[in-house]
Structure 1
Amino acid sequence: MGKETLELLSSTRGAILMIAAAALLVWFTLPRKADELPRRIVLFVGAFTFGSLIGTNFGLIIQILALVGAFAEWIATPKALRRGGAVVGWAAAVIGFWALLMFHPNVPDFNTALLGFRKTVLAFAGLALGCAMRPKWIPKLEILIIRFTAAAVAVSIASNFFFPALSSSILRAAGRYTAVYEGQDRLQGIYAGPFHAAAAGLLLVGWAIVRWNLHRRTAIIVGTLGIVCMYFTYVRSAYVTLGLMILVALLMAPHLKVVTRRFAWAGMIALVGYVTLVWSGDDAVLGTVGSISDFSTDNRFLDRIPQWEEAFMLFNDSIFYGWGAGSAGDTMGEAFRTGVHVTPHNMLLKFAVEGGLIGLLLIAGLVAAAVRRIDRTSDQARLGVVSVMVVIGMGLTISSIDMLPITYFAMVLLGLGLTEKHQGKSGGISEVAPAMVDAPGRRHKSGARS
């Protein structure tokens, strides 16, 4: 990148920051309706989404707010309105344990420990923020996250084709090998890498699938943005993840008749899509998708097998409390030159290597607590589960939990869909959700179930 380009980019950023500061000043002085989202949450979501454009120091501040602020928001919410007490408790336990792992003897210094901590467990704080939302705020925060993500994806697509200097200015830890597939540059945009961008696209597509009947026009726009973003990242695991998301969305339908009809529609759409791709002769996407079946001879896949084996060995060597925060963090190998490190290319192995058996048990407790609070009859819960499948599906081949801010937002959407369980007077457990709102303009109260 030339000097003139850097100066132009710097001056452009400065102008954008000045305009944004002036707009924020005006925005904070305007009156606001009582049932609207607090300005602090709107500002936070926007800053977290576009933090990479401002700088690493600002990004660190936002991530600290994402962690501390989420739990502070949950604590400040009246007890009768907040949800997911056990889920938030387990999330705090996971985060607290990884905070202790920052002081593991294998971790070389505090900066490395802090980075490893953030990459591994920051996303779980999103559950606390989602559970803290009052019923009238739930649909507003959902739409806010989708709109900001859609805007970020649109900027990423535009920068990839028309403003490459903007994409090149983003500081990324991953090397050139990650940014290229079969000789073609992958779309990264304002995200940390192509996998992050693919996850953003998946989040949008998942929302479009679940909200298709309610927001048809918006779903078409958002879903198209997501598919285009996925396409140009050339990330094969994104297509596997998309298949898992569709399967979960279908299976979570409340009635068998609905499930059957949705499977039929999904099959027809998949067939039409495949025929269209074959007819168009698009070698890029056909090669990307087709290579999934050739995993046994694919070098990128085969290179992961030794890493999986090494991760298993390291887990066995320190089975109870692992090797510390960041010891299985992507792109962190250089920081552990004098210690133990592996890039496991799998989210579960990442937790196992860093936190050992204790870490895995805490993660299992968190998952169990969340599953118990999922009401499959609620569209809000369905959206949350489909969204978190972005993390699970991509986690089969990468340490997907660190794909911030997308993983954080996926956890927020899951938190928005969780109900609460209270102890009834008769000693039984009843499930209560205070006037859950599935989407703008449509409300229902979940009845108590003993």
Structure 2
Amino acid sequence: MRFLNPSANALEATVCHPLPPSYILTQHEREKEQTRPAHSKFLNDLANDTPLPMIVDAECGMPLDLGKWGCLWEEDGDDPELNPNPANAPKLDPKDHFLLLDPSSIAAPYTPAGGASGTSTPTPMPHVTWLRKTEYITREGVTRSTAISDSKHTPLAPIDVSRSAQIRDIESSFAAVEEFDLAELRHPNKPRVTAVESYDILPDADIWANAYDLFRFSERPGDRPPDAEDPRLDCAILRPMESDGDHFLAYYLTKEDEAALQFKEERAARDPNSTEEGEPTNFHFIRDYEVVKVEQEVPNEFLLVISDEDVQDEFGDVQASSRAKGAYYKNIERKMLLKKRRVNSYQAYVDKWDVVKVSHVPMSKEEEDEREEALAEVMDPMYLLNRADMDAEGEEVEEETEVERPGGDIVDPIDVFGE
């Protein structure tokens, strides 16, 4: 469909009118509205009476007379003009020879006028949509050329995975750790940073049997202003609670700072294997917190304790460390984000404690066995081998307890005798 412009008379009538076209009224135009002798809406009749010529072109601007080919209207007509024989193709105009070339063979990057022309191999531009921005097209071309150059590298040599090769690589790793120069170490992201000292990274056997969770609060916990120092926050208690199917955590702190400091000092000085019971420390209820987000797996965050051979106590005296120099780590089990739970004075949940008394008590036999089993993961060199043997024995026991029916079907004994 093609459209023609309105007639010249209609344009002259519109242009010569004293009222200018205005679609947005400014403050100045609003003030002139009161003094105008006429309004632009009176031109609506003139616009409606002016016809807009429209020509419907069935050939879409390209004339196509099908009457020139009689084969289209005759039954079993020969159409060599429409479908020429490939063996006897008509002669192509010299101006159209470039249409038969392969586009990839003639595609070349744009060279400005007067620029130097090189003999480098042209890089074909990728096919992109017409709405895509040009900077993305250029970036993709650079990325693709880089990928092509990387793919031309020689393939890696095959890796020897034999037992002797593994032993050789393991022994060489010890030599690489013991014989290295700190001055040659480079930070992967900060080139100006230099290494000062090195530590062996080892599992922390002192706390390996414990499970640690990382709690993050949406705002500072406790009942003191944010700018006030509160030494009680690093020895708080979080107690799981439930009320009408709603799970949350009750938060407890000591009332005085002295009680928290004394609790931390006694805990640091006490032997974990001691059987003596200590004096209880009272922790008072502060408020409830609800869990906003929980991450069940934390693969990239650890607790890290750096231990030197000589350490200084709180009085500045140098004392020998109880363990070798190194960086000791322990994994984090979960991460939780907490926020304050709205206080409802009309809701009373059962099993609420206002005070929690914490004291040191000896571990039971079950707790000691569970602790020893957890420590075996880092203390027993044969832990993995023993665990594999236990798994194999469990599979054998399961196979031996299978019962065979007279018909030949094998079933589980639980299905026969019940639990």
Shared fold, TM over 0.5: no
Q: Which structure's CA Rg is the greater one?
A: 2
TM-score range, shorter chain: under 0.3
TM-score by length of 1: 0.15
TM-score by length of 2: 0.16
Greater relative CO, 1 or 2 (CA 8 Å, sep 6+): 1
